[in-house]
């Protein structure tokens, strides 16, 4: 903006007010233009959806990388010690995903709160009602009827409704996946189980409007979302499109195989790929549970939120770093501080690390996922306090959290073909088995190698290349 002489002669407050008014007018013009573009985009997209959809062969789910060994606790024997070595490494993986940028539509309408109430993972949610949404109906799930329903949705006053949803996303500190779950809960209010296809199309429509690249899939008599993610997703069938793999996300978890009908074109105002990373703890109401863990001569009472466990249970299986980088909730972090920090007081860095390693090695019962669940399942750190058993990668995730939060040391995961351990960068030199990451020594700490001190690797992995997974 260019300042004229007249502006320079006016008091600073008037100039500032002028800037605010001019910027507000500019913002309103941009919002108006964007909404006009989106209205046009919906009409064009509905016309596209009315055309014949293409048959796609679903690709088989990518299996979760199984960590089958050890079958039971592997116990450290000092007699097995050998000369410390620098262990071989293979590849280095650093998180590369970006937080989604979504457009919050401008709304002049003043929403009437408390007219719509529902429960979101134990948290009461209140928002204004989307008038007319409950009247949306599909005559069938053929292309022409889907297109007609899309136009019906686009003619509803959805801008203030979406704005409220995105503001709720911020209030509850939800990531992309948790926001998708919020939409499913909203859909349940308007569409009973007999209207599952209307709910599916509503979900895709809303995700498209806020900017997510999502398509609709059709098989038999059912519609469902096809969602693309920034990171790998396991255990879920998908269709490879030119811009990425679109996964069959069926809220009912029913198995979908074979041929699915869908389309190539993306909604023109949708650019975001769904991010599964959890950068901030969700703000869910607390329904406390207590896990009692025995270590040494003491029992530790760790509190966790059962509501959070329910949300985590909806999560698709994804890359290990997502679990390790997810921050602990405030209640569990406070509980761990109360229970563990007194034991770390006045300890040296190495002694504090040794204590946390021994705690994770001894306080949790071991069982392979195949035995506990019938399939491979990665845990978020807090899930170790909820389930009766855990395995090597779960312990590595929790241990990495404790070390970073309570000692402040950098940690990497050591990902072997059938095992996961950790490497920790100490400030002082310590003898023991280690890996080099950017020419820095990271001492091996294996939470599943029971009784092993800092700097001891299982003998079978001394000559096996580890894939290094960097953590934030």
Residues 299 and 233 in one domain: no
Residues 349 and 461 in one domain: yes
DSSP 462: T
Residues 185 and 310 in one domain: no
Strands (E), 16-65: 54-57
Question: Is pTM beyond 0.75 here?
Answer: yes
Residues 350 and 429 in one domain: yes
Residues 202 and 335 in one domain: no
Residues 163 and 217 in one domain: yes
Residues 150 and 295 in one domain: no
Strands (E), 121-208: 123-127
Residues 258 and 328 in one domain: no
What is the length of the chain?
472
Within a domain: residue 367? yes
CATH label of the domain that carries residue 387: 3.10.620
For residue 358 the two structure tokens come to: 């021994």
Number of folded domains that form the chain: 2
Within a domain: residue 383? yes
Class of residue 221 by CB neighbours under 10 A (exposed 0-12, middle 13-18, buried 19+): exposed
Within a domain: residue 155? yes
Domain span at residue 250? 99-262
Residues 438 and 390 in one domain: yes
Give pLDDT tens digits along the chain (472 positions). 333 444 445 555 555 555 455 545 544 544 444 455 467 889 999 999 999 999 999 999 999 887 765 555 689 888 878 888 888 887 766 666 566 667 555 555 555 555 789 999 999 999 988 888 888 999 999 999 999 999 999 988 888 888 999 999 999 999 999 999 999 999 999 999 999 999 999 999 999 999 999 999 999 999 999 999 999 999 999 999 999 999 998 766 567 889 999 999 999 989 999 999 999 999 999 999 999 999 999 999 999 999 999 999 999 999 999 999 999 999 999 999 999 999 999 999 999 999 999 999 999 999 888 889 988 899 999 999 999 999 999 999 999 999 999 999 999 999 999 999 999 999 999 999 999 999 999 999 999 999 999 999 999 999 999 999 999 8
User: How many other C-beta atoms lie within 10 A of the C-beta of residue 213?
Assistant: 21
């Amino acid at each position: 903006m260019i300042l004229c002489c007249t502006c320079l002669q006016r008091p600073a407050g008037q100039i500032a007010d002028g800037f605010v008014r001019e910027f507000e007018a500019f913002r309103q013009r941009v919002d108006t233009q964007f909404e006009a573009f989106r209205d046009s985009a919906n009409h064009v997209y509905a016309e596209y959806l009315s055309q014949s959809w293409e048959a796609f062969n679903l690709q088989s789910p990518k299996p979760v990388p199984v960590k089958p060994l050890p079958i039971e606790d592997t116990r450290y024997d000092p007699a097995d010690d050998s000369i410390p070595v620098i262990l071989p490494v293979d590849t280095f993986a650093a998180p590369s995903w970006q937080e989604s940028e979504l457009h919050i539509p401008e709304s002049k309408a003043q929403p009437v709160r408390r007219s719509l109430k529902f429960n979101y993972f134990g948290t009461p949610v209140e928002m204004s009602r989307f008038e007319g949404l409950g009247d949306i109906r599909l005559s069938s799930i053929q292309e022409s009827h889907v297109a007609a329903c899309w136009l019906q949705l686009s003619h509803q006053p959805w801008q203030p409704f979406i704005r409220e949803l995105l503001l709720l996303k911020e209030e509850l500190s939800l990531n992309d996946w948790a926001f998708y779950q919020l939409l499913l809960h909203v859909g349940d209010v308007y569409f009973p189980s007999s209207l599952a296809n209307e709910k599916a199309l509503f979900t895709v429509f809303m995700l498209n409007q806020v900017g997510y690249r999502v398509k609709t899939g059709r098989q038999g008599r059912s519609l469902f979302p096809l969602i693309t993610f920034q990171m790998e997703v396991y255990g879920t069938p998908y269709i490879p499109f030119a811009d990425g793999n679109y996964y069959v996300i069926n809220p009912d978890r029913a198995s979908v195989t074979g041929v699915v009908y869908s389309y190539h074109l993306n909604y023109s105002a949708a650019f975001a790929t769904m991010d599964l990373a959890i950068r901030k703890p969700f703000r869910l109401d607390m329904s406390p549970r207590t896990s009692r863990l025995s270590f040494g001569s003491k029992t530790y009472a760790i509190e966790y939120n059962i509501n959070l466990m329910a949300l985590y249970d909806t999560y698709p299986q994804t890359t290990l770093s997502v679990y390790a980088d997810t921050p602990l909730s405030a209640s569990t972090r406070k509980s761990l501080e109360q229970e563990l920090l007194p034991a770390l007081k006045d300890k040296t860095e190495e002694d504090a690390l040794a204590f946390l390693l021994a705690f994770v090695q001894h306080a949790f019962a071991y069982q392979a996922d195949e035995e506990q669940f019938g399939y491979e399942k990665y845990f978020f750190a807090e899930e170790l306090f909820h389930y009766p058993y855990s395995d090597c990668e779960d312990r590595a995730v929790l241990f990495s959290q404790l070390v970073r939060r309570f000692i402040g040391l950098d940690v990497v995961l050591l990902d072997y073909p059938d095992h996961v351990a950790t490497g920790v960068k100490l400030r002082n030199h310590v003898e023991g088995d280690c890996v080099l990451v950017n020419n820095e020594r990271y001492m091996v700490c294996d939470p599943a190698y029971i009784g092993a001190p800092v700097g001891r690797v299982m003998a079978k992995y001394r000559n096996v290349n580890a894939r290094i997974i960097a953590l934030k």
